[in-house]
Structure 1
Amino acid sequence: MMGPVLAACLLIILSTAWISQANGATCKKDGGVCTCNDQTKNVDCSSKGLTAIPSNIPVETTELRLNFNSLSKLSPTAFHGLSKLTLLSLQGNQLQTLPVGVFDQLVNLADLRMNINQLRSLPPKIFDNLSKLKELNLEGNQLQSLPEGVFDKLAELKTLDLSSNQLQSVPHGAFDSLSSISNVQLFGNPWDCSCKDILYLRDWINDNKDKVTGAQDAACGDQQSKAVLEITEEEAAEDCVYPNTTTAIPTTIITTLASSNDDDIPELPVPQENFQKFLGYQEPDHLPTQPQCLMSISGYLGLMMFFVLISAAILYVIHFLKKA
């Protein structure tokens, strides 16, 4: 009677081993691309040439580093299930946009680093669920504007770096909810000191000089020798409206179309991606990298071997029972 028992044990052992390998494929020790530390719960995927977030990141992870890869976009669910994260670093990638809700489940996040990317704007309410955030680094992007109330829920934020972007102004009241703030960096932006919108920033800097690193370096874009905090109301007298850079149509195109007959309007080429969306095509959330492809191939081979061993075990049991 020991034959069937041995066969059943073999099946259980093989199943457990295969499932364990499949679930741990992110970590280098299991054939993945990232370095995982079981003691500190840290996962380091820096400088791996990744174009997508690795799958199967352990849910117990507290620090996740994805620095200096080739990430140009994120799936809205990229970090779902990682509610224990306290640090997330996306520094040195090629991110141009952020999907709505991408950080919503990171309720324990204290440190978010997105510096040195290509972000031109931020979605409204993108940080609303990050009530424990203490450090936010957006330095070295291409931000041209900030949404109204984007920092309103960050009452515990201590450090905010907005330096080296393309900001011309901030919404009125943008920093009023930052009751714990102690370090703000604003230099390296082309602040527009001819518009009334700049007066809020001027007054806030004047009231918080001890919190603004290099307050004198937050200079007007058209006259870098003059600091924002030195602007007078007479100098900032214009009512300026900044266009939405993602949807604004150049005035020359509007004028041309309005003055032309229908027959004269040239046929505008439609990007291929629009046809793909029209036909229902959607890009996958995670585009596999070369190491991930190799992982997938090894996974399939492992699955095939698993089924071969199961079949062999079943045949052995049948053979044993016939002999009995």
Structure 2
Amino acid sequence: MVDRPRVVVIAPGYDNYGEENSVLAGLAEVEELAWDGNPARLAAGVKSADVILVRDTRIDAHLISGMEKARGILRYGVGYDSVDIEAARQRRIFVTNVPDYGAAIDVSDHAAALLLDLCRRITTRDRAVRAGCWNIAQQEPIRRISELSLGLVGYGKIARELHRKMSAFGVSPVYVADPYVGHDEIAAAGGTSVTIEDLFERSDLISLNAPGRADGQPIIDRPLLARSKPDALVVNTARGTLIDEAALVEALATGKLGGAGLDVFRTEPLPAESPLRSVTNLILTDHVGWYSESSVRTLQRKIGEQARAILSGQVPENWVNTW
């Protein structure tokens, strides 16, 4: 009797794996690996796995070296910087991602929601009213959104969706800092191509939609934040490593920046002792920008299709470590 291939998903994952299992029916069934942060248990759990499904757990060269049967490491989501793709390539293990599950729609919705919340001070008003305050408009001035400029750091799918959505509120002009997108292309979309320094100097609203640096160093540092307008609002739904968090706390606390909204952090979950928790003009969400019920169903189904392709001896869609 031939053993069925093992498809292991590293917890924490999702509530259930019905989408994946429906695609894999007759071939394999997803097995959840609850390793509870124990590296030895993680290594043992993936040792004989044929396909490994992963969300945010780091898959480094050491862990890959212990995979005896692995044919694929499939990442739920767009980014795959948590996987050592070179180590997997040397072992001829497919690494895939899912760039087309609708994240551009949901993340841009979340970025827009954070910007609108900050502009209209919804969260701070809620806190104040619950605390018994009333008629506090003059203490926290609210600017008209249609009179504000927008700065987009990065101009991929998410930023372009956000540009379209915020344009409906009349934001203008729209500045774009992306060295990989031509000036003419940005102009054709209704934006103005600028350096990131100029963007911070000119923009009232700033959204970060760029990948992080390979070395993990922040792009948004103290000198760059010092260039911003004192009432500027910054949101980050991209990568936690983009911002120097200590510099952001300082800028917000000293009034050098008007407010911020973060959905991603350098360390996740956000540590209990993080200074970010004590800043009042800062909205925090738990890396949920990508999420909607529709996006999760699509994401899980596409992962199932990739796993089936690999187990059937085919090349999977969105193969990122080609050889």
State the structure with bigger RCO (CA 8 A, min sep 6), 1 or 2. Answer: 2
Using the size of structure 1 for normalisation, the TM-score is: 0.28
Using the size of structure 2 for normalisation, the TM-score is: 0.28
Quick check: which has more Rg, 1 or 2?
Answer: 1
Structure number having the greater helix percentage: 2
